Structure 1
Amino acid sequence: MRVVMSSIFRLVFTLVFLLEIQINAQNFKCTQGTGFFPDPVQCDLYYVCSKGIGEERLCPDGLVFDDKDPNHERCDIPANVKCGDRTVLQEAKPSKGCPRANGYYRHEDPLACDKFYNCVDGLPHELPCPPGLVYDDTDSTCAWPRDNHRKDCTKAKKDVLDDGFSCPDGEVIGPGGRALPHPTFAHPDDCQKFYICRNGVQPQKGSCSYGSVYNDETFTCDDPDNVPGCEKYYDEDDKKN
């Protein structure tokens, strides 16, 4: 019974929607010359005007009409278009992963803040955000956690190296008093090795050239004599030679 009622409701909704479009087309006046002009109520509906006659057109589901230039016919994602009072949209054509047939949408997994879907004709294409960023569905883009509009994604998922290292939270201040864009960290067991955090979030392994060791005070490779505890790091190699 519920399935039947749902089907009837959708049919009625579609008929009303088509009737409204027809009424809008009849009422729309091409008074601005030749070009492409928005419907005053519905953001994904627009008209092609030529010789005072308007032909209605509908953007693909999920996209809306960009009315910045009447000489260009363009549909775009809602984040790029200011619809204003044109708040009505066509009935959605959802599919798995896609609330509408086209556009960018958050991942259905609430813990997958760093992933999103690019939906094209109802087919979802899963995409990752760059390391350290989370998907912001208000702007349909990836953003730093501190800048995004989502309250459920305040931290990005951390990458972890095979030895367990992950980049710590917070800025690292360098010798000049400025935050380091790609801070480095000493390896806990090997004076020659260190870690690099690209953009502060993406961990990578690093190593000083032979004869030098990592200095965690200057954030550079240095002479072993300048790093307490690493003065004799290469002594065993010298004995072997």
Structure 2
Amino acid sequence: MKVLVCVLAVASLASAQFKCPPKDGQYEDARQCDKYYECEDGVPTEKLCPDGLVFDPLIRKVNKCDQPFNVDCGDRTELQPPQGNANCPRKNGFFAHPDPTVCNKFYNCIGGDFTELPCTAGLHFDEFTGTCVWPANAGRTGCTENSRKLKDGFECPKEAQVDASGQKTVHPKYAHPSDCQRFYVCLNGQEPRNLGCQVGEVYNEESQRCDSPENVPGCEDWYKDDPQVPLSKPKKNRK
């Protein structure tokens, strides 16, 4: 009971020290980013954003509490004590997966309940921006390398692939060693993906496009035993 009285006394003192501007409204605390004051008839009432959110005085809405990565707190560096759990460091917000080796998934926490969400293939979650970005931009360490090696053993070559003009290829492609219809794409040169051409076409490594089998040496008869694929005449390579 004494502790509660002390807390209320401190809160009352803080509100008493804050001076409301002439206009009623909500105003930020000078030191704590998730604390604000609601002024009515010149009387301030101390308020706190939901745990994990911070106060943005620039928002032109009644609810001025937002995600930290959307708000410039400046010198307001203090925050209320965390009220989260094992999966949610704070009750609300976007957080990295609790397993530090899992970088391509993150948690969306609302009121302490979480939903696990995946990043788009090849991206890592960045808590500073609350979005999924390229691994080099996320700068996270300790991520598992499983995503960099496919089940068939393919890994993106360390040597950069260059185009005809000598420029580095951002998302290089590579032919599958035994399947004419399939090929690999290395997102950002690092994250391998196993893709395939539509039925009736094979991958042309020279043009780096899906093409007619007759235009790819060694793959001319790839569909000869497939009754669903009609025989076609050779066509010119696409450019």
Fold shared, TM-score > 0.5 on shorter chain:
yes
Pair 225,106 (structure 1): closer, same or farther in 2 beyond 3 Å: closer
TM alignment of 1:136-151, pairs within 5 A = 136-151=126-141
Mark the CA change 1:47 to 1:170 in structure 2 (over 3 Å): closer, same or farther.
Answer: farther
- Evaluate the alpha carbon distance shift between residue 60 and residue 194 of structure 1 in structure 2; reply closer, same or farther with a 3 A threshold: same
Residue 182 of structure 2 corresponds to residue 194 of structure 1: yes
CA 1:63–1:237: 2 relative to 1, 3 Å: closer
- CA distance 1:53–1:75, shift in 2 (3 Å): same
CA distance in structure 2 between the aligned counterparts of 1:62 and 1:16, rounded to whole angstroms:
25
Cα pair distance change 1:64/1:219, threshold 3 Å: same
Shift of residue 63, structure 1, vs aligned partner: 0.8
Conserved 8 A contact 1:36-1:73: no
Structure 2 partner of 1:87:
77
Q: Which amino acid aligns with 1:128?
A: P
Given that 1:198 and 1:204 are in contact with CA atoms closer than 8 Å, whether structure 2 keeps it comes out as no
CA distance in 1, matches of 2:84, 2:202: 57
**Matched letter for residue 110 of structure 1:** P
Residue 189 (structure 1) shift: 1.5
1:219 CA displacement: 1.2
2:204 to 215, 224, 231: 215
TM-score between the two structures when normalised by the length of structure 1: 0.75
Closer, same or farther: CA 164–156 of 1 in aligned 2, 3 Å: closer
1:177-206 CA distances to partner (integer Å, 9 max, x unpaired)? 44445533212123x323142745362331
Describe the SS at the equivalent of 1:119: strand
Aligned counterparts of 1:202 and 1:15: Cα–Cα separation in 2? 60
Q: Cα–Cα, structure 1 residues 113 and 18, in superposed 2: closer, same or farther, change >3 Å? A: farther
Write out per-residue CA displacement over residues 104-137 of structure 1, whole angstroms, 9 at most, x where no aligned residue.
1121212111111111111122111111111222
8 A Cα contact 2:150 2:192, kept in partner: no
Q: Calculate percent identity across the aligned residue pairs.
A: 40
Tell whether the 8 Å contact from 2:107 to 2:115 is kept in structure 1 after alignment. Answer: yes
Q: Given the superposition, is the C-alpha separation of residues 118 and 237 from structure 1 closer, same or farther in structure 2, using an over 3 Å criterion?
A: closer
Q: Is the 8 A contact 1:133 1:156 kept in 2?
A: no
Q: Is the aligned partner of 1:234 residue 2:221? A: yes
Return the alpha-carbon distance in structure 1 between the equivalents of residues 50 and 198 of structure 2: 55
Q: Distance in 2 between matches of 1:33 and 1:236?
A: 77
TM superposition score normalised by structure 2: 0.75
Residues 209/121 of structure 1: CA separation in 2 closer, same or farther (3 Å cut): closer
Which blocks of at least 5 consecutive residues in structure 2 are unaligned? 232-239
Could you say if the C-alpha distance between residues 234 and 49 of structure 1 is closer, same or farther in structure 2, counting changes exceeding 3 Å? same
CA distance in structure 1 between the partners assigned to 2:22 and 2:60 by the alignment: 9
Partners of 2:223 and 2:91 in 1: how far apart?
65
1:56 and 2:46 aligned: yes
The structure 2 residue matched to 1:46, chosen from 36, 48, 67, is 36
Describe the shift of the 1:213–1:70 C-alpha distance in structure 2 as closer, same or farther (beyond 3 A). closer
Q: Which runs of 5+ in 1 are unaligned?
A: 1-10
Structure 2 counterpart of 1:31, one-letter code:
P
**Alpha-carbon distance change, 70 to 40 in structure 1, aligned in 2, over 3 angstroms:** farther
